[in-house]
Amino acid sequence: MKALYYDGDSLVLKNVPIPEITKGEALIKVYYTGICNTDLEILKGYMGFTGIPGHEFVGEVVKAPENKSLVGKRVVGEINIACGQCDLCRAGKRKHCRNIRTLGINNYDGAFAEYMKFPVENLHPVPDEIPNTIATLVEPLAAAFQVLEQAHIKPTDRVCVIGDGKLGLLISIVLQYSGIHHVLIGKHPERAKEVIPEVEALLPSELKGLENSFDVVVEATGNAKGFTSAIELTVPTGTLVLKSTFASGENLNLSPVVVKELNIVGSRCGPFEPAIAFLKSQHEKLEGMISGIFPFEEYQRAFEATKGSLKILLKMS
């Protein structure tokens, strides 16, 4: 089969064996995969990953010896693979397993391939109402829903999302869907309004006077400067939800976190159930999130197209 392989230096298309599944795994024929900012960071050295990247996918189960009812069904998958045996797994914190593997990110080959293997317990069937292309957004949309699980936003809270890239827009869509008024700050307010017409979108240059103004700030810029801006925007004793992951570290002044007594919440993957339920009836709201679809063999053009775009997909042959 064809797969994109990252050797720690470059990403190349090569022929590799179709994965052999073991107990509890399924073999999946991949239909589409999405290119995520985390994939771009991996190519800069994030997590020290080598192998087949890619973690946003939709595909069809072609083999599942222990779960034959799944064969022929379209699926998406939760990316964290837990051992199920350690103390954290037994405490219900499986995505923080001490022996965690993560699809296409940490010690487990990912979805930039014609076929992939994956644990059956991580798979979710895709309802017929959701198109293949939109199904690739289930994983990042679940990460957006995770904000609601962690921040416990009150009706009186003033809320801000900083960063209007792919994840920031998904978070804004989830907040809008949940009836939470908020301000979205980013460099592309016109594009943001095309995706979410009702949103109040501001440029960073329009932030003067908004310091210490928001009870809850969600940082989704993908860079360290966004963290600094988020600290400035959060009211003393407010909550700052951090979504960004990036490879290179920068010097950060954390003194304001102490002085303002901020609650810092790290936020990563989220629940698939509400994301799938949302897409079942609201998938058209995310159609504007997909900027382009490229044949798998044109992966170089696809990765280049991610600059300044929203979601770019690879279509498997």
Q: pLDDT digits over 69-128, tens only?
A: 999 999 999 999 999 999 999 999 999 999 999 999 999 999 999 999 999 999 999 999
pLDDT at 225: 83
Q: Say if CB 291 and CB 194 are below 8 A apart.
A: no
For residue 145 the two structure tokens come to: 């829903």
pLDDT for residue 249: 59
The reported pLDDT for the residue numbered 99 is 97
Q: What is the pLDDT of residue 224?
A: 77
Of the CA atoms within 13 Å of residue 157, those in its CB half-sphere come to 23
Q: 299: Cβ–Cβ under 8 A, 6 or more apart, which residues? A: 4, 11, 13, 112, 314
Tokens 């908020």, located at residue: 182
pLDDT at 208: 86
Which residues, other chains included, contact 235 with Cβ-Cβ below 8 Å and sequence gap of 6+? 158, 212, 213, 214, 215, 260
Which residues lie below 8 Å from residue 315, measured CB to CB, with a gap of 6+?
31, 32, 293, 294, 295, 296
pLDDT in tens, 274-302: 999 999 999 999 999 999 999 999 999 99
CA-angle at 79, arms to 306 and 70, nearest 5°: 110
pLDDT attached to residue 245: 72
Residue ranges in the chain whose pLDDT is less than 50: none
**How many residues are listed for the chain in this entry?**
317
The pTM is what?
Answer: 0.92
Q: What is the pLDDT of residue 115?
A: 98
